[in-house]
Chains A and B, each alone.
Chain A
Amino acid sequence: MQPQSIEVVRSRLPVPAAPGIALRVPALPAERRGAPMVAPFARALALLGAFTAHDRWLTNREIAQRTGLPPTTVTRIAQSLVLLGHLGYDAALRRYRLAAPVLALGYGAVASCQAHETRDVQRTTRTQMQAFADRYELNVHLGVRDRLDMIVVEACRSVQPTRLQALPVGAREGLAASSAGWALLAALPEAERFYLLEHLERRAPRDWARLRRRCVEGIAQVQRQGFGVAMGEGEGGRTMVCVPLSIEAQAPQVLVCTGAALTRARVEREIGLRLMATADAIRQAARPEKQS
C-alpha cells in the first residue's frame, strides 16, 4: 500500500443537530479553532461518537441526523469503519452497531481511572456526596488508586464558604503517605495489601520504616472503627476523615471529607459515623444497577 498524503482541511466539523442527544464532539477552545484537522478521520470519529449507551443499532439516517453529515458521506465512512472492524453491519435491516475494537481506542485507560461502571452510580454518588457536604458544611471528595497514588475523581464543595480549598479532581497523594491511602489499603484483601506494600517499599526504601509504621497504624484505625482520621495540625489545618467505599465489581474507592474547624470529639461522635452511613447509602443505591 503506497503512503498517501492525508487530506487536511482548515475547518470545523459540522455541528451535530439532533435535539436531546448529548454531543460527543466537544466545543473547541477558542485558540484551537482553525487548527488543521484531518477531515476524514474527524468524520469517522464523529460517526463512532454518534452511538450512545441507549442505542444498540443506528440506521444511516439516524447517524446522519446526529452527526450533521450528508447520508452519502455517512454511508462511505461507515463502510470504512465496517472494513476496519469498528462497526458491525446488519445487511437485512441496513443498520450499524459498534464493534468490540472500539474498546481499544482508549476505553480501558479512561474507564479504569474513572472507576465508575455506570453513569447512574456516578450520579447517585455525587448526589450523596453533595448532600453530605451541604449538611455538615465540609468538603467531600472521592479517591481511587492510580498505581501507587490516590487520585481524586470526584469533588463536592460545601455551599458555605470554608477557609479550606477543596482538593480538586485529579489531585494526587501518595498511597502510603495519606489517610485516604490507608483507608483504601484497609479495605483490600490481605494478599493485595501486601502486594501493594511491597511495591511501595521498593519505591521508598529510605524512610520506609517510618512510613510503614504510620501506614500500618492508619490501616488498623480504619479496620477498628470503620473510618480513618488525620487531624489537621495548627489552627485552620486540614482535618480529613476517610471511609472505604467498596461497590461490588468496581475498583475500591475512598470517601473523604475535609474541614478546618473539626474537633476530634466531633469527628469521633458524629462525622465519622455519618460518613460511613453515606458510604453505605451509595453502596445500597449501586446494588440494583448491578443486576442489569
Chain B
Amino acid sequence: MSAVHAGALPSALLTVERGLQVLRAFRSDRTPLGNAELVRRTGLPKATVSRLTSTLLQLGYLRHAGSSREFELDAAPLAIGHAYVAGSDLVRTCRPVMQALADRLGVSVALAAGNGQDMLYVAYRAGNRVATLRLGVGSVLPMAPTAIGRAWLWGLSEGERSLKLAALMHAAGPRAASLDSGIRASFGELQGTGTCAVLGGYQRNAFGVALPVRIGRQRVVMGLSCGRADLQPDLAKEHRRITPALKDAALELEAALADFDGQP
C-alpha cells in the first residue's frame, strides 16, 4: 500500500480518502451534523471539511436538514449501496442461510465486515417474528462494545488483533479500562463456547450473540451475529439457545461461500 501512496498521485488519493471520511462520519445515521461536529469527528481542518461538504451537497450526497446549516444524508448513497447489494455474489449467496437462521430462532441475523473501528453490516435478514426494531444493510456499529465486533476481533490473527485492540483502546480514552475487561470476558466466552453474548452493547435492551466466520478463498474474517431487542432478555438463556444453531449456520455459510474470491 505504501508503494502506491508514494507513487501514484498521493495528493488526489489523500483528497478522496478525506472526502469519503467526511461521508463516513455520518455513520449511516440520519442525525444531522454541522461542519464543527464533522471537524471533531474527522480531525480534518475546518476549511477542508467545508469544501468537502459543499461538494457532497452539490452532488446529492448530503442535503441541508430543514432550514438549518446542518447536513443530513441525501439519496445518492442509496443508489451506490443498492448497486452493491444487487450485484454482490456474497450478499446473494448468504441470504438464504441467514434467513433460515433468522426464521428458526426468531431473531435478526447480520453478517458484518470490519470497517475502521466499526463493524459494517453487509448482509442482514430479520426473522418473521421481528418486524420493526432492527438495523439493516449498511448499518455501522462500534466494534469494541458489540458482540459482532468482539467476535470479529477474535477471528483475527494474534498480531492483527493486538494492533486493532491498541487502536480501539487509544480511541476509547477514559472508558478504555471497562471496555477492555468487557472485551476480555467476551474473548473468554469465544474460547469456551465458540460464541460471545453481549447485552446493550449498542442499543439498550438489545442483545447480540456472535462468532467469527472466514469467507471465501482468501478466508476473509467477518462477524456473524443473531440479535433481538427485548424488554428484559435472559441473556444466558438466549446465549445457550442460539449458540448451536449459529455455529451450524456459520459452517453452512462458509461452505456456500467457499469459492468466493476477493474482499467482501
| A residues neighboring B (CB under 8 Å) | 1, 3-4, 6-8, 13, 24-26, 28, 32, 35-38, 40-42, 44-45, 48-49, 51-56, 76-77, 79-81, 83-86, 88, 90, 97-114, 119, 145-146, 184, 187-189, 191-192, 194-196, 198, 246, 248-249, 251-252, 292
Contacts and interface: CB of A to CB of B under 8 A. Distances in A.
B193 interface: no
A275 B64 CA distance: 36
B13 to A, nearest CB: 4
Interface string B106-146: 00000001010010111001101111111111111000000
Contact of A4 (B14, B86, B121): B14
B264 A108 contact: no
B77 A105 contact: yes
Interface in B79-109: 79-90, 92, 99
B121 A106 contact: no
Contact of B60 (A26, A55, A112): A26
Contacts of A104: 24, 27-28, 115, 118, 120, 138, 140
B157 interface: no
Interface stretch (B44-52, B166-174, B175-183, B244-252): B44-52
B134 to A, nearest CB: 7
Given A83-B4, A246-B131, A105 B16 contact: no
B139 A108 contact: yes
Nearest to B60: A26
B78 A35 contact: no
Contact of B29 (A76, A99, A109, A111): A109
Given A37-B58, A84-B20, A49 B80 contact: yes
Contacts of A48: 80
A80 B13 contact: yes
Contacts of A79: 4, 8
A106 B205 CA distance: 25
A205 B12 CA distance: 53
Contact of B263 (A1, A100, A114): A100
B228 to A, nearest CB: 9
Given A188-B132, A246-B131, A98 B9 contact: no
Contacts of A103: 28, 81, 84-85, 120-122, 137-138
B8 A76 contact: yes
B78 A100 contact: no
B111 to A, nearest CB: 10
Contacts of A99: 84, 263-264
B67 interface: no
Nearest to A34: B58
Contact of A191 (B28, B136, B230): B230
A24 B13 CA distance: 22
Given A45-B59, A77-B16, A112-B136, 4 more contacts: A104-B118, A104-B138, A109-B77, A111-B78
Nearest to A45: B59
Contacts of B135: 108, 112
B79 A49 contact: yes
Contact of B26 (A53, A109, A251): A109
A55 B4 CA distance: 28
Contact of B81 (A44, A102, A249): A102
Nearest to A47: B16
B229 A192 contact: yes
Interface of B: 1, 4-5, 8-9, 11-20, 23-24, 26-30, 45, 48, 51-52, 54-55, 57-61, 73-90, 92, 99, 113, 115, 118, 120-122, 125-126, 128-140, 205, 229-231, 262-264
B48 A51 contact: no
B5 to A, nearest CB: 8
Contacts of B121: 103, 108
Nearest to A191: B230
Nearest to A246: B131
6 contacts: A24-B79, A44-B16, A100-B120, A104-B138, A105-B77, A195-B133
Contact of A101 (B11, B85, B120): B120
Contacts of A188: 131-132
A173 to B, nearest CB: 16
Nearest to B73: A106
Nearest to A29: B58
Nearest to B125: A249
A41 B84 contact: no
B132 A192 contact: yes
Contacts of B263: 85, 88, 99-100
A44 B84 CA distance: 16
Contacts of B262: 88, 90
B131 A38 contact: no
A198 B231 contact: yes
A278 to B, nearest CB: 20
